[in-house]
Amino acid sequence: MVLVHEDAVDVASMAAELWYPLWDDGARVDHSVRSLSEMATATGDLRTALGLLDIRHLAGDPSLTLRVRASVLAQWRREARSRLPELRQLVASRSARVGELAHSSVPDLKEAGGGLRDATVLKALVATWLVDVPHTEVERCRRRLLDVRDALHRAAGRPGDRIAPEIWSDLAGELGVEADEAQRLVRESGRRVTHISRLTWSRVDAALRPRAPGSARGPILEKVARGIAVSAGEVVLARDAHPTRDPHLLLRAAAEAAERGLVLAPATAARAARECPPLPEPWDGEARDLFVRLLAAGPGLLPAWETLDETGGLLRVLPEWERVRLLPHASVVHRFTVDRHLVETCMELSTLLRRVSRPDLAVVAALLHDIGKGGEHDHSVAGEKLAALVAQRMGFDPREVAHVARLVRWHLLLVETATTRDLEDRGTIAFVADRVLDVETLDLLEVLTEADARATAAKAWSPWRSRLVHDLVGRVRGELSVRGGAPAPPAAANSPEVTIPAAVRDDLSLVDITVIDDEDGAQITICAVDRVGLLAATAAMLASFRVDVRSARAWTQDKFALSTWEVSETGLDPALLRQRLEAVLHGDGALREPRRTGTVSLEPAVLIRAEASSREASVLEVRDDDWPGVVACVCAALARLDLSVRSAHVATVGPQAVDVFYIQEPGAGAPTDERCATAVHAVRRALADPDTLDA
């Protein structure tokens, strides 16, 4: 409460008459006395300025209140561009310290992200005239939270803003609802304010971003995918979008927003959710790939996921989400509600993907590992059945469905066994091996265990727990290897026998290229005399056309090299492809395709698979971001070392390329260990910085 007066007017006696009766009644009043000129200088403190923006007239001369309000607003608008970065930092640090109202185990109605302070900040942002918000929704949420705080004071018998777990029942009684409904009411309001706040701050960033000289002042659409464009930092529909004919449009927009760390425009998500046809059941490869890309996007997943949830798009894709939506954990060890914990687990796992060859199974299991909570049965057992149904609907094959279901069933196995059983006991190792069954599942379970713990609480993945789990995994891996449970990379011996085109046999300098279109893309087949660097040149040629390679195989037949490339584009002209490939082969082969950048930056993983290598060839496995130049980089680096690629198996799994190359010396035979080590370092360096290939 502030007592404002005209300059040079003494109000000391009046202030005493005002404050003392309040103090005598036991009221706690934050008070001050300021003149008009002092009110103008008080806005130098950001917190004070925010309070004065919300100033209301209680008594006295209303014209004085209007003058103060007009002066404060005018100054706020003049200084907004310089003060908003400080305000954003203030809001971000508060939210990081206190947590989010919607998902914290002990929510704070005032200080938490999405709480009353954020609602006040939204009003301050609107007062800058730089952005706008849905006023009715924000005010409805703010009033609801104020009502809840009044009820909390009555239930607790004292003032306060934090809702302890034991007070929910009494609070619900004050609100006249059930305890579960009270939690949902509070958390829904907080989540809505958080969603609006994130969107508004993104638009503030766009408003504050310097405009390039001579740039157009109207909205600029940059098309980034089929039917999808970026405008002012938001993912929106492109001009050629056809929502009613594109069932994948919603997932494509969400994946692009998450990977680029941009806002998924709510209007775009709502329209796509409303107008797009249902996804096929089971899902096709495009839907599954887009969903995996979304889950593996890292920090960009959270805002995109919440926009899908807020606009109704999420339940169209994953109806099972409703059972865990805003569901509190029974254990206070968890810092988030169940739904937010699942999203956090996916974000944590996005930093561990290089350690597994099936990132798609890893992120889907991460999303579903607690999907069985909220019922009467063990959530791991209930979740196993639900996860199998979801994975089956997503179009995974029976073996992959079993993998996902097993990961969900045993997602607590490693940490519980490592911390409660004797790891020197062979029975303990056999116990885990009997449930995991193979090394591939063990690798997936290891990263899921770590991501789950990190998403639970800061102390849930301590160095002690980490050491125990990694020790257990090492012992179980040895046991499974003895049992024959180690997966092998694709075999090089089963390459198809094809008829070499007569033109290539007659003219050994000729390169033959055929393109066969289908409804989902095309298959490109290339045949030429084998030479070191041919595969690198082919990959560079496709990268120059920005062709999205889904999978590829390369092999030799007599003195000829053949390769088939499954791509998502159609209508490619074989003559243009041949012309470009010949240019690359004659020296114009520099890789100019930049690495794809997103919200997660992981180092490429390059290793020699010793267990799969032989005297004829060594097996080089590469895991890297899926970007157009990855195969060209690998092959070019190998060609520089005068190593030939006997066979290549290129696959894209969600956001990650998982490529296997069988490499040989020019005269055939596997490279030595020293040459393999050199190849690993060269490939890793080329993938990290493609410009080194031009040096």
Average pLDDT score, the chain: 88
Q: pLDDT class for 138, splitting at 50, 70, 90?
A: very high
- DSSP per position, 15-42: HHHHHHHHHHTT-----EEEEHHHHHHH
CA separation for the pair 398, 389 (Å, rounded): 11
Look at residue 250 and tell me if it is in a domain: no
Least confident of 170-174, 295-299, 367-371, 592-596: 592-596
CA separation for the pair 382, 374 (Å, rounded): 10
Give the position of tokens 């069954």. Answer: 437
Q: Check pLDDT > 80 for residue 520.
A: no
pLDDT of residue 332: 65
Mean pLDDT for 86-93 is 93
| One domain for residues 446 and 517 | no
Q: Which of 191, 207, 223 is the last residue of a domain?
A: 207
DSSP reduced 3-state for 368: helix
Backbone angles phi and psi of 450, in degrees to 5? -65, -45
pLDDT of residue 217: 62
Distance of CA 421 to the CA centre of its chain: 35
| One domain for residues 424 and 511 | no
Residue 87 contacts by C-beta under 8 Å, 6 or more apart in sequence? Answer: 46, 50, 121, 124
pLDDT of residue 498: 81
Tens digit of each residue's pLDDT (9 = 90 or more) over 7-33 = 877 777 887 878 778 777 777 777 788
What is the domain count for the chain? Answer: 3
The percentage of the chain sitting over the pLDDT mark of 90, rounded to a whole number, equals 56
Look at residue 278 and tell me if it is in a domain: no
Look at residue 521 and tell me if it is in a domain: yes
Classify residue 587 by burial, with Cβ atoms within 10 Å: 0-12, 13-18, 19+: exposed
pLDDT of residue 600: 67
| One domain for residues 436 and 527 | no
| One domain for residues 398 and 541 | no
| One domain for residues 581 and 659 | yes
Mean pLDDT for 242-261 is 95
pLDDT of residue 431: 95
Sheet holding 222-225, edge to edge: 222-225, 228-231, 234-237, 263-264
pLDDT of residue 386: 96
Look at residue 496 and tell me if it is in a domain: no
Q: Which of 147, 172, 207 is the last residue of a domain?
A: 207
Tens digit of each residue's pLDDT (9 = 90 or more) over 339-395 = 999 999 999 999 999 999 899 999 999 999 999 998 878 999 999 999 999 999 999
Which of 252, 253, 259, 130 has its CA nearest to residue 203? 130
pLDDT of residue 471: 95
pLDDT of residue 645: 85
122 contacts 109 by C-beta, under 8 angstroms: no
pLDDT of residue 493: 45
CATH value at residue 67 = 1.20.120
Tens digit of each residue's pLDDT (9 = 90 or more) over 69-84 = 888 888 899 989 999 9
Structural domain containing residue 155: 43-207
For residues 49 and 401, which has the higher predicted lDDT (pLDDT)? 401
Look at residue 10 and tell me if it is in a domain: no
Q: What is the CA radius of gyration of the chain?
A: 31
For residues 267 and 12, which has the higher predicted lDDT (pLDDT)? 267
CA distances from 469 to 364, 405, 420, 450, 466 (A): 22, 21, 11, 9, 5
Which of 117, 98, 91, 49 has its CA nearest to residue 204? 91
Whole-model pTM: value is 0.84
607: left (phi over 0), alpha (psi -120 to 50) or beta: beta
Least confident of 45-49, 120-124, 294-298, 470-474: 45-49
| One domain for residues 124 and 201 | yes
| One domain for residues 110 and 154 | yes
For residues 612 and 307, which has the higher predicted lDDT (pLDDT)? 307
For residues 14 and 243, which has the higher predicted lDDT (pLDDT)? 243
- DSSP per position, 609-649: -TTT--SS-EEEEEEEE--TTHHHHHHHHHHHTT-EEEEEE
CA separation for the pair 686, 665 (Å, rounded): 20
Residue 83 contacts by C-beta under 8 Å, 6 or more apart in sequence? Answer: 46, 49, 76
97 contacts 136 by C-beta, under 8 angstroms: no
Return the structure tokens found at 538.
């082919």
| One domain for residues 446 and 506 | no
pLDDT of residue 654: 76
| One domain for residues 454 and 542 | no
477 contacts 439 by C-beta, under 8 angstroms: yes
| One domain for residues 578 and 689 | yes
Q: pLDDT class for 505, splitting at 50, 70, 90?
A: confident
Look at residue 366 and tell me if it is in a domain: yes
| One domain for residues 475 and 514 | no
| One domain for residues 65 and 165 | yes
Q: Check pLDDT > 70 for residue 424.
A: yes
Tens digit of each residue's pLDDT (9 = 90 or more) over 190-224 = 999 999 999 999 999 888 888 766 555 666 889 98
- Between the two ends of the chain, the Cα-to-Cα distance in Å is 68
Tens digit of each residue's pLDDT (9 = 90 or more) over 632-681 = 889 889 989 999 888 888 888 878 888 999 999 987 789 999 999 999 99
Determine if the peptide bond prior to 496 is cis (ω within 30°).
no
Look at residue 476 and tell me if it is in a domain: yes
pLDDT of residue 594: 62
pLDDT of residue 207: 87
Q: pLDDT class for 499, splitting at 50, 70, 90?
A: confident
Look at residue 619 and tell me if it is in a domain: yes
Q: Which of 487, 510, 539 is the last residue of a domain?
A: 487
